[in-house]
Structure 1
Amino acid sequence: MITLTGVVVRAPAGGPSGAAVLLDGIDLVLDQRRIALIGANGSGKSTLLRLLNGLVLPSEGAVVVDGHDTRTAASTVRRLVGFTFTDPLSQLVLPTPADDVELSLRSRVRNRAERRALALDWLARYGLAEVADHSVYDLSGGERQLAALVSVLAVEPSVLVCDEPTTLLDLRNRNTVANLLAELPHQVIVATHDLELAGRSERVLLVDGGRIVADGTPDDVIAHYRRLMA
């Protein structure tokens, strides 16, 4: 379970107004298996998402994951909460998918041959065996996104946090990724502009102007969002 209590996030800004407030007054208990964050660009979705594994720390308040505060137990939180970025090339830092998954496994599997075999097994589970040793730049957008997901899943987090996981994908690959996220046993929290993907969640949060302005069922919150954008 993830709790956010009295969270404010400020970013330094020039000029007389001082620090810009990115999020303000966030109090949440996130315990549903599937949660989506929706809202316009610049609303604060990505900042809120990055709070959940300590990529961003609150200026005020606290974020606690299974009893671990992101300020004081960052390494533990990052083992519990895996994070994927919108652009998988921001995450795939080594030449091939196999290399990247091996990197994820390095802290747990010391033997290189065992680590390699386990990396290949992880990739095969998600249909990437044939491209395990291909350059990440030769992969399709969908293959890159899957490879990035596998590199995070291999760490075996309990929560998977995804920042716009379908935004850069064509329809076929979007459906592949959406179905994968739906089938995972993990708690999955996504920020997305894909309202169909959001509609598959149990709970949807609408972020606007750095605040949660709606929180509830997909039908109700997506309808609220459509009215807000109109």
Structure 2
Amino acid sequence: MAISFRKATVAVDVDNHPEPKTLLHGVTLELTERRIGVIGANGSGKSTLLRLVNGLVQPSAGAVAVDGDDTVRAVRAVRRNVGFVFTDPLSQLVMPTGREDVELSLRRSIRNGAERRRLAEAALERFGLLGLADQSIYELSGGERQLMALAAVLAVNPSVLVLDEPSTLLDLRNRELLRRTLAGLEQQILMSTHDLELALDMDRVLVIEAGRVVFDGGPAAAVDRYRTLCAEGLAAP
């Protein structure tokens, strides 16, 4: 699976400003590795880059494609291939219970209710969540909610999994659970994170600064580059 950016730019109008604000500047990338990380400071453009991949954000100029499907012209095909997991699972879990959420994600592709229920239970069992399937999502821990959101996304078997800072709300135990879960997945993963240990698990890491890719390479070198950028920022007057 290839994720292609061709001079992708995102600019948005800002109140009381005469010119649009550019969030992402002419990014050109070909992402084919199995595990790709994206690191950078808050507001650097990480989430914007990720949201381009499944059409949540459209480029103002340039183009983005997943396996040849343009994210604007063929957004339905793209979203069949790309699953997106948000930072806060409560923004994604819309039903009262996890079981209902997973079944909802299957509704478009599986018409038969009994088959939907069977597949939903299989998805929940995969993540050790079947015993929590009928609890209110508000009774679950942050880690359980995040895994429930992940189960709902993976139930439809996307080829690409995009995760926007998935460990932000997790304690150490649940972070390690998420880390092990991601390591065992078949999907191509594109993940933004502030967790540099998670970034080191990747095959390739992008460093984003002020809407530009300022480093693209191996995880250790990328983390070193990001640490240097942070140190330079602290040293600035």
User: Which TM-score band (shorter chain)?
Assistant: over 0.9
Q: TM-score, normalised by structure 2?
A: 0.96
Aligned partner of 2:49 in structure 1 is: 48
Letter in 2 for 1:90: S
Letter in 2 for 1:200: D
1:195-226, CA deviations, whole angstroms, 9 ceiling, x for partnerless residues?
00000000000000000000100111100110
SS across alignment from 2:50:
helix
Aligned partner of 2:220 in structure 1 is: 219
The offset of 1:107, in angstroms, is 1.2
Unpaired runs of 5+ residues, structure 2, are 232-237
Aligned partner of 2:90 in structure 1 is: 89
Aligned partner of 2:126 in structure 1 is: 125
Distance 2:54 2:198 in 1: 22
SS across alignment from 2:27:
strand
1:163-217, CA deviations, whole angstroms, 9 ceiling, x for partnerless residues?
0011100000000001111110110110000000000000000000000000100
Distance 1:148 1:167 in 2: 14
Alignment of 1:48-197 (within 5 A): 48-197=49-198
The offset of 1:16, in angstroms, is 4.4
Distance 1:7 1:63 in 2: 7
Instruction: Indicate the larger mover: 195-204 or 106-115.
Output: 106-115
The offset of 1:15, in angstroms, is 3.2
Q: TM-score, normalised by structure 1?
A: 0.98
1:102-123, CA deviations, whole angstroms, 9 ceiling, x for partnerless residues?
0011112111122112111110
SS across alignment from 2:96:
coil
Q: Does 1:33 align with 2:41?
A: no
Distance 1:135 1:80 in 2: 29
SS across alignment from 1:48:
helix
Instruction: Indicate the larger mover: 24-33 or 114-123.
Output: 114-123
Distance 1:152 1:191 in 2: 17
Letter in 1 for 2:172: L
Letter in 1 for 2:139: D
Letter in 2 for 1:21: T
SS across alignment from 1:21:
strand
SS across alignment from 1:219:
helix
Letter in 2 for 1:215: D
Letter in 2 for 1:50: R
Distance 1:28 1:17 in 2: 30
Letter in 2 for 1:146: L
Q: Does 1:21 align with 2:8?
A: no
Letter in 1 for 2:195: D
Distance 1:214 1:151 in 2: 33
Distance 2:16 2:124 in 1: 49
Unpaired runs of 5+ residues, structure 1, are none
Give the root-mean-square deviation of aligned CA atoms: 0.8
Distance 2:130 2:160 in 1: 25
Distance 1:188 1:173 in 2: 19
Distance 1:97 1:39 in 2: 32
